[in-house]
Structure 1
Amino acid sequence: MTTTRVAFKMKLKEGHAEEYKKRHDEIWPELKSLLTQCGIQDYSIFLDEETNTLFAVHNLKEGSTGANDLGSNPVVQRWWTMMADIMETNDDKSPVTVPLREMFHLP
């Protein structure tokens, strides 16, 4: 099965790295299931501690919608609300994300 890698960055508010990690270590089963159902696989988020920039990368199954359609899901909206106090967010509390262009890949 073919996959596409997707990468983006987000911004963590100063001093919230441990809380961010804790919340993700305790990710809700229903949120994990939603991500899997929309084709997201092998999802990792890294932190640049000098800038508080979060770097996220995951594989997306070919033909899947990815996270684009999840914003209206009540589980996702609850997650965004819970995370809004420690991340830069949009007016709807979704995290501000900046897509990144792949420049190199060594399979």
Structure 2
Amino acid sequence: MIRTASIMYLFPEHYDEYAKRHDELWPEMKKELKAHGAHNYSIFLDEQSGQLFAYLEIEDKDKWMQISDTAICRKWWDYMAPLMKTNVDNSPVSTDLKQVFYLR
């Protein structure tokens, strides 16, 4: 299992809506996440800065990266785009984090 983490950026006026949409995650999006090897996916919010800290475990990096080519992922990005900083394709602006410590 590969542990991965990143930072994304949420607009402060949308904290509640962001949480609501994830509480109501579409079943087809959940299925696609699992199909692309996602496990133990958590997102945390720093309410002072609007930064989202995402952590997940993946089976294979190449398999995980292919999710961005799926119709449901693109639909999800379009749905979430008004709530957060995004790239031109509506994917979230994201900063990958480097692991510097792990306690098993």
TM-score class, shorter-chain normalisation, is: over 0.9
Q: Which residue of 1 aligns with 2:30?
A: 32
Give 3-state SS (helix, strand or coil) of 2:13's partner.
coil
Give 3-state SS (helix, strand or coil) of 1:65's partner.
helix
Give 3-state SS (helix, strand or coil) of 2:31's partner.
helix
Contact 1:38 1:64 in 2 (8 A): no
In the alignment, does 2:2 pair up with 1:4? yes
Among 87, 90, 99, which residue is 1:90 paired with? 87
Q: Which residue of 1 aligns with 2:57?
A: 59
Q: Deviation string for 1:53-105 (max 9, x for gaps)?
A: 00000111257611x11222111111111101001000000101110001111
Among 83, 97, 100, which residue is 1:100 paired with? 97
- Quote the Cα distance in structure 2 between the aligned partners of 1:62 and 1:73: 17
**Residue ranges of structure 2 left out of the alignment (5+ in a row):** none
Q: TM-score, normalised by structure 2?
A: 0.95
- Quote the Cα distance in structure 1 between the aligned partners of 2:14 and 2:73: 20
Letter in 1 for 2:23: D
Q: TM-score, normalised by structure 1?
A: 0.92
Question: Runs ≥4 in structure 1, deviation > 2 angstroms?
Answer: none
In the superposition, relative to structure 1, how do residues 103 and 32 fare at CA in structure 2: closer, same or farther (>3 Å)?
Answer: same
What value does the CA root-mean-square deviation take over the aligned residues? 1.2
- Quote the Cα distance in structure 2 between the aligned partners of 1:40 and 1:97: 17
Q: Which residue of 2 aligns with 1:23?
A: 21
Contact 2:12 2:47 in 1 (8 A): no
- Quote the Cα distance in structure 2 between the aligned partners of 1:88 and 1:63: 24
Contact 1:12 1:52 in 2 (8 A): yes
